[in-house]
Amino acid sequence: MALVPALAVCLILALLVVPPVSLATTLPHAIVESVHATPSALPSGGGQVQVTGTVEHSSSCQLQLLSSQPFAVVFSHNPTTECRDGHYSSHVTIGTNLSRASRTVLFALVARNGSSSFTGGFEVVLAAPVPPAVLSVSASPGALGPQGGPVTVRGKVSHASSCALELLSKQSFPVVYSANSRPCTSGFTAHVIIGPNPSTVHRTVAFALVARSNGMAFTSRFYVGLASWPPPTTLPAATTTLPPAATTTLPPAATTTTVAGVSTQQQTDSNWSGYAVTGGPYTSVSGTFTLSTLTDGTPPSGLMDEWVGIDGLAGSPGYPDLIQAGIMESMLPCEGSTTEPNGAYNPDEFWMCPWTTFIENGQLTEGPVPDISLSEGDSVTVEIYQQNGTAWAISMDDITNGQNWSVGDQYYAGPGSSAEWIVEAPGVVGQGCGVVVSGEDGQCPLAPYSPPVAFSNLLLAPAAVTTWYEITMVQDGAQVSTPSLLSTSGTRVLGFSVSYTGTNPSGREGADRVADPVVKDLPTPVLEKTVERDVGALNRKERPQ
């Protein structure tokens, strides 16, 4: 009986003598050797990345998010023991970056073994969103008659997820379109129906194409003109004295003729042929003209213009003003053309160069260049109209091939005293040619053209006309470009034509004779316009054989 207590005492003493086992000395430290995300960079729309790592002596691993951001970051927060074999793998989903800058998402992989832990950091870069952009937008047609009608809107966009049309102007007639936003990535097409114009003035319907993506928007405006209902033009029997000219001074009237009740004064000029009217102020003018062809044998100095404008004949005294748009036909490339860098002359080719021009107080400003392609024989409609105050719009439509162009919010503060439909010899020495028409002050010769240029759809707002001026171009004492009589219906003028009545210059002697088929060092035609694209490549024409 006494031995039992003795044995217990021995066991207790033995336990006291044996030292305790230390976990710290038996378990190695956990280590994260490497960790990274694939891919390490994402686009602004976010996406999924795979996280892989290499660890040692780890009993568990856990992924932690170190940064804070407004978009979602989805991953497993729970520790896993699958990394005991030395490898770690997981997936992370990152949401869309809606900010204007790139964002960096910071993570850590934490490896643990008992009481020891090791942290390895890595990051994923989320790109900034690319803002949407409207590359181009236009309506076809860009101008409607007073009865209104349908137009088709076409636009090109980039980095957009949705597009929508917005109506910017207010008007009393209906404008029917879909205002709903719909997906778009590179292109946009919509249809708009514009009702009849109930007023007696030209109206402009303003729209915007809005491209959106990632909370950002890009807006581009465009315009559709709606003509007024012109009342019949009734002319008084008497005519008035021509006011001081803005760009052209005409001599006193030679004779006065009357066609179907329309009284005209006949005038001559060194660089104009066609018709002009006074009796404004005019707030809009439009007309359709056919594109002629420069005839065989035209020298490199040959130029001719077909255009429609306001104030070219009758600007304010001492303050010449002008707004006009048209097509220049030239034997040398359009200014800005990259197809013929040396300005080489080719007798079998000519160029058609669209342009717009403003003159304010005698100072010429080159307006936007209409972006349309052209061919001989095409019918082109030009419309110039006041939007409001000093804001004007110009549209140019090739109704033969369906191409159109328009621009609005162009500053012009002229009086609107006259309107013109003209075939012109636009060049002066040093600006388009190197020869002089005898008896004229630096005026270049008109290029011979055929067939006649036909003007039609002549519209004015308001329609009141004081005087029609029939203008014949006279150079070297000969009529070189002659308008026909006006075509009328009652007292309403329908149109006219202008014909080349000079001599083909291929047989001319002197400085204007072409001696070399390739003429170098000739001045590039000024064209009175600045071309911001390769219009020469677009509008170079082979002369028909």
- Give the Cα separation of 369 and 531 in Å (integer): 6
Q: What is the pLDDT of residue 7?
A: 53
- The answer, yes or no, to whether the previous bond of 132 is cis (omega within 30 of 0) is no
Q: What is the pLDDT of residue 541?
A: 55
- Give the Cα separation of 164 and 181 in Å (integer): 4
Q: What is the pLDDT of residue 301?
A: 67
Half-sphere exposure of 226 (CA within 13 A, CB side): 25
Strands 284-290 and 379-388 come out as antiparallel
Q: Which two tokens stand for residue 150?
A: 């349908």
Q: What is the DSSP letter of 524?
A: P
Q: What is the pLDDT of residue 246?
A: 37
User: Three-state SS string across 417-480, please?
Assistant: CEEEEEEECCCEECEEECCCCCCCCCECCECCEECCEEEEEEEEECCCCCEEEEEEEEECCEEE
Contact 29, 118 (CB under 8 A): yes
Q: What is the pLDDT of residue 346?
A: 66
- Give the Cα separation of 328 and 106 in Å (integer): 63
Q: What is the DSSP letter of 511?
A: G
One-letter amino acid of 364: L
Q: Could you give the 3-state DSSP secondary structure of residue 499?
A: strand
Instruction: Write out pLDDT tens, residues 301-322.
Output: 677 899 999 988 754 444 468 8
DSSP string, 62-76: EEEE----SS-EE--
Backbone angles phi, psi at 19, to 5 degrees: -70, 150
- E strands along 314-442, which residues? 322-330, 349-360, 363-366, 379-388, 391-398, 403-411, 418-424, 428-429, 432-433
- Give the Cα separation of 105 and 126 in Å (integer): 8
Half-sphere exposure of 320 (CA within 13 A, CB side): 14
Q: What is the pLDDT of residue 58?
A: 94
Q: Structural domains in the chain?
A: 30-126 (2.60.40.10), 133-226 (2.60.40.10), 256-542 (2.60.120.700)
Enumerate the β-bridge partners of residue 118: 111
- Give the Cα separation of 79 and 111 in Å (integer): 9
Distances (CA, A) of 500 to 293, 488, 503, 507: 11, 22, 9, 16
- Give the Cα separation of 505 and 502 in Å (integer): 9
Distances (CA, A) of 133 to 40, 160, 211, 216: 28, 7, 7, 10
Q: Which two tokens stand for residue 545?
A: 């054989």
Give average pLDDT by consecutive 10-residue segment, the chain, 545 residues: 52 50 67 95 93 95 94 94 94 90 94 92 92 91 87 92 91 86 92 84 88 88 83 38 40 41 79 89 91 78 86 60 88 56 60 85 79 88 88 90 87 88 76 51 79 91 86 88 88 88 52 26 28 42 49
Q: What is the pLDDT of residue 71?
A: 92
